[in-house]
Amino acid sequence: MGDTAYLMFEGRLDTAASQQAMGSLENVLATVNPTEHLVLDASKLTYISSSGLRILLMLRKRFVSFKLIEANQEIYEILEMTGFTKMMPVERSMRQMSVEGCEKIGQGGVGVVYRVNDDTIIKVFREGSDINEVRREITMAKEAFVLGMPTAISFDVVKVGSQYGLVYELLKADTLSACISKNPADIDKYARLYADVFRQLHEIRVPDNGLIPNVMQREEEAIRHIERYLDSASVDLLLNILSNIPNGDRLLHCDLQTKNAMMQGEELMLIDMGEVGFGHPVIDLGHAHSAMVALVGDYEQIIGIKPETGKDLWKRTMRYYFEGLSEAEFAHRMEQIEAVSVIRNFSWLSLSDTFPEQVIRQCQEVFKERAWNRRDYLLDVSKTFADWTLD
């Protein structure tokens, strides 16, 4: 495949088998350009001795790049113990899981979240996602957890058919959406918890030397990507709004809608960490507003509650988040958040280059109504972003 050669070892690669393998291997390698890359599939390898390890060393020296994939737990432990995992890329084999019969508790542009049992949920990434997307989410979850974000702990990467899955442990947790549906009289309590988790995040400063990315750069890339769906003038409008957002160093979730917040006891735990970044809190709140108030799509399917309930929750949440502000100051902040939410209403289109024509037309019509016909207002509001200073 291209300039990459693939090999597979089967069974036990002990001393006797290694001697036989070397002879066959030399015949195969004689036909391979030595500048090519080699991937060794170890999915059927059950044992490897020191003689087998020497074969790996030979292959590592012979090829510009050499990678071993699908190593089972025993093989991986041998390679790790002997230091081979530090010398070459080694990928473990992933256990297979099924979500057949499991409750679907959330769905977004990147994947679907299912409850496996009382203790476990799994996020199944969309078809076509590569392992790097999964690893990025794990990395962001760990980085955010260390900084103080209340996150569910991801502990395993699995395969669900041909798709990747990320397993989280959450003890008897339920989505915030489900809690509100079951206990509508407690909506004010949930609004305060929702506001508290936003405030908790936005008080956390992200250090310069960490792995968490700058959200502004990602937002700009997403906006430029959707020029295939919106004309250049429309894209420029979104870029102008974005350019007025001040720099910030605060921890942001960037998709904190009520299906990505799980009630575990009396505490909210966050999932779906693929968009975590740092920046100004108005970005985080604008993203959440775009889902909870201004969603483009099937509200009840995506958010899990009725639109009027979600909007009521959001208003209460913002009242608690901005507790202490005057009515005029509160109204001003809400205008700023709504202006930023317009970006998110359409930047999600960057997730795919092949949306159905019906979806594209709907977004273009909504853009005209919410953005283009209000462009002067939105640009005027965006010019006030600078007055939202961070302590």
Q: Residue 23: is it exposed, middle or buried by C-beta count within 10 angstroms (0-12/13-18/19+)?
A: exposed
How far is 174 from 40, CA to CA, in rounded Å?
42
CA-CA-CA-CA dihedral for 336, 340, 341, 346, to nearest 10: 160
Degrees to nearest 5, angle at CA 216 with 213 and 220: 115
Architecture of the CATH domain 174-387: Alpha-Beta Complex (3.90)
φ, ψ of residue 232 in degrees (nearest 5): -65, -35
Residue 275 · residue 255 · CB < 8 Å: yes
- What is the reported pLDDT for 124? 93
Which residue from 304, 315, 272 is spatially nearest to 149, judged by alpha carbons?
Answer: 272
CB contact at 8 A, 165 and 122: yes
Q: Report DSSP letters for 130-152, one per residue.
A: -HHHHHHHHHHHHHHHHHT--BP
DSSP for 167-210, written as a single string:
EEE-TT-EEHHHHHHH-GGGHHHHHHHHHHHHHHHHTPBPPTTS
Residue range 103-169 in CATH 1.10.3720.10: no
DSSP-assigned letters across all residues of 62-122: HSSSEEEEEE-HHHHHHHHHTTHHHHS-EEE---B---TTPEEEEE-SSEEEEE-SSSEEE
Average pLDDT over residues 49-61: 89
Residues 18-29, mean pLDDT to the nearest whole number: 77
Report how far Cα 60 is from the mean position of its chain's Cα atoms: 33
Distance CA(172)–CA(167), nearest Å, equals 15
Angle ∠(359,364,365) on CA atoms, nearest 5:
100
The mean pLDDT value of the chain amounts to: 90
Residue 334 has pLDDT above 90, yes or no: yes
Name all contacts of 144-148 with Cβ < 8 Å and 24+ positions apart: 144/212, 144/251, 144/253, 144/273, 144/276, 147/204, 147/206, 147/210, 147/212, 147/251, 148/200, 148/204, 148/251
158, 270, 313, 347 from 276: Cα distances, Å? 22, 11, 23, 16
Residue 2 has pLDDT above 60, yes or no: no
Q: What percent of the chain has pLDDT over 70?
A: 98
Please enumerate in sequence order all residues whose Cβ is within 8 A of that of 146, keeping only pairs 6 or more positions apart, or say none: none
| Contact call for residues 332 and 223 (beta carbons, < 8 A) | no
Position 389 pLDDT exceeds 90: yes
* pLDDT score of 34: 57
Domain edges within the chain: 4-92, 103-169, 174-387
Is the alpha carbon torsion for 27, 31, 34, 36 positive or negative? negative
**Distance of alpha carbon 220 from alpha carbon 27, whole angstroms:** 51
| pLDDT at residue 154 is higher than 80 | no
Fold match flag (4-92 vs 174-387): no
- Under 8 Å between Cβ of 194 and 312: no
Written as six digits, the tokens of 349 are: 């289109």
pLDDT surpassing 90 at residue 149: yes
Beta carbons of 388 and 282 less than 8 angstroms apart? yes
pLDDT tens digit sequence for 94-120: 888 999 999 888 777 788 889 888 888
Are 181 and 187 spatial neighbours (Cβ–Cβ below 8 Å)?
no
Contact at 8 Å (CB) between 160 and 129? no
- Which tokens belong to 84? 């081979």
- 269-281 per-position pLDDT tens digit: 998 888 999 999 9
Assess whether pLDDT exceeds 50 at residue 1.
no
**Residue corresponding to tokens 């506001």:** 195
How many percent of the chain have pLDDT more than 90? Answer: 57
Q: What is the mean pLDDT of residues 3-20?
A: 83
The rounded distance, in Å, linking the Cα atoms of 52 and 241 is 59
Q: Are strands 174-175 and 267-270 parallel, antiparallel or unpaired?
A: unpaired
CATH number of 4-92: 3.30.750.24
Q: Which two tokens stand for residue 32?
A: 């391979």
* pLDDT at residue 35, rounded to an integer: 58
